[in-house]
Amino acid sequence: MTGLLDIESLARPEIEAILTRSKHFQPAPKQAFKRFTTLQNRTIVNLFFESSTRTRTSFEIAAKRLGAEVLSIAIAASSISKGESLVDTLNTLGAMRPDAIVMRHAASGAPHFLSRYLPIPIVNAGDGTHEHPTQALLDALTILDRRGTLENLRVAIIGDIAHSRVARSNIFLLSKFGVQVVLCGPASLLPREMTAIAPGVELTTNMETAIRDVDVIMMLRVQLERQHEAAFPANEYFRFYGLRPEHIELAKPDVIVMHPGPINRGQEISSEVADSQRSAILNQVENGVAVRMAVLERVLAR
């Protein structure tokens, strides 16, 4: 593994290996995280062309717990538009010879583009509306914590599917494990072609249909910043696609409710649901560190 650009090109055994290793990095209940020296004397650059406190912090903590040096650089989109090209930025960083680059970028495929020119392994921390591979891995780990297996589960992903990199990575990952994935959202945010990108994917615009008998409900954040037009009447969205307690009744009794965060309480998810027993939102955050440790270790393995 030379880096981690997307879930789509990962084989199932590779995903399984990462998830298995992640469990090793999960702290036992009520215990502190363990510290390791695996990546001592290695330098990781976190390059965030798009702001994200959560993901950046999670990668930073993961790297530090493995003993690596971490340098986080936030590059405002404005300085990019002032003329320095992505290639120049990366050449500059490349000259400093970090051992790996963790990058987030607003353009789909930006890490793929760079990996063609840079010999340093790149971990994709979210690229445009394409993929967010470590999010899908931590989601899978969170499901495994509660279900033990992914096989034969039914998972609903609800919200702005078209613009969601979380949705794409989860679709690719879950499909590799034989999960039935139901995608749900307003028609203009639910591309029909989604059924063709991976096996076992179905679509519905009806929230009740989507949730019926599912094992997992994944809510997506409304990505207003990625919508370039009014794809749906704004005031109708939360009425039809907000997750409320009555929806939970339709799912399996032990349904897991997930959300990549940050959540908009009372909008795509009600507070009652977010804070309920069914919610695994905080477990997701915790698992994020473990999964990213496993990924960094794998990427930097000598």
Partner 1 sequence: MNKLVIKNGRVVDPAQDLDRVSDVAIEEGTIRQIAPSIDATGAAEFDATGLIVAPGFIDMHVHLREPGFEHAETIETGARAAAAGGFTSVCCMPNTQPVNDSAHVTSYIVDRARRFAAVNVFPIGAITKNSAGEALAAFASMKEAGIIAISDDGKPVMNARVARRAMEFAQALDLPYIEHCEDLHLSAGGDMHEGMESTRLGLRGIPRSSEDVMVARDLILAELTGVRYHVAHISSHHSVEMVEFAKKRGLRVTCEATPHHFVLADRDMAPYDSNYKMKPPLREWPDVGAVKQGLMEGVVDAIATDHAPHAGAEKMQEFERCPFGIIGLETALGLTLEQLYHPGHVDLAHLIRLFTHNPARILSLDRGALRVGGAADVTVFSLDREWTYDVRHSASKSSNTPFHGRKFKGGPVASIVAGQVAWRL
Contact between 225 and partner 1 (CB under 8 A)? no
Contact between 196 and partner 1 (CB under 8 A)? yes
Nearer to partner 1, 109 or 178 (CB): 109
Options 55, 58, 129, 279; binder of partner 1; rule CB under 8 A: 129
* Other C-beta atoms lying within 10 Å of the C-beta of residue 34: 12
Token couple for 72: 């986080």
Q: How far is the CB of 129 from partner 1 (least distance, A)?
A: 4
Options 131, 215, 286, 297; binder of partner 1; rule CB under 8 A: 131
Options 65, 104, 105, 259; binder of partner 1; rule CB under 8 A: 105
Options 193, 225, 239, 301; binder of partner 1; rule CB under 8 A: 193
Nearer to partner 1, 87 or 224 (CB): 87
Contact between 94 and partner 1 (CB under 8 A)? no
Q: How far is the CB of 108 from partner 1 (least distance, A)?
A: 4
Among residues 65, 111, 120, the alpha carbon closest in space to that of 288 is found at: 65
Contact between 180 and partner 1 (CB under 8 A)? no
| Stretch in the footprint of partner 1 (CB under 8 A) among 12-20, 51-59, 93-101, 193-201 | 193-201
Token couple for 295: 């990924």
Options 69, 73, 89, 109; binder of partner 1; rule CB under 8 A: 109
Contact between 151 and partner 1 (CB under 8 A)? no
Task: Collect all residues with Cβ–Cβ distance below 8 Å to 198 and sequence separation of at least 6.
Answer: 171, 172, 175, 176, 181
* Total of chain residues touching partner 1, rule CB under 8 A: 25
Contact between 238 and partner 1 (CB under 8 A)? no
Task: Collect all residues with Cβ–Cβ distance below 8 Å to 252 and sequence separation of at least 6.
Answer: 213, 214, 215
Q: How far is the CB of 96 from partner 1 (least distance, A)?
A: 21
Nearer to partner 1, 88 or 275 (CB): 88
Q: How far is the CB of 25 from partner 1 (least distance, A)?
A: 29
What is the footprint of partner 1 within residues 244-273 (CB under 8 A)?
none
Contact between 86 and partner 1 (CB under 8 A)? yes
For 213, 266, 292, the CA distances from 274, given in Å and listed in that order, are 19, 9, 24
Contact between 229 and partner 1 (CB under 8 A)? yes
Q: Please compute, for residue 105, the number of CA atoms within 13 A of its CA located in the half-sphere on the CB side.
A: 23
Q: How far is the CB of 195 from partner 1 (least distance, A)?
A: 9
Contact between 191 and partner 1 (CB under 8 A)? yes
Q: Which residues bind partner 1 (CB under 8 A)?
A: 8, 85-87, 105, 107-110, 112-113, 127-131, 165, 168, 191, 193-194, 196-197, 228-229
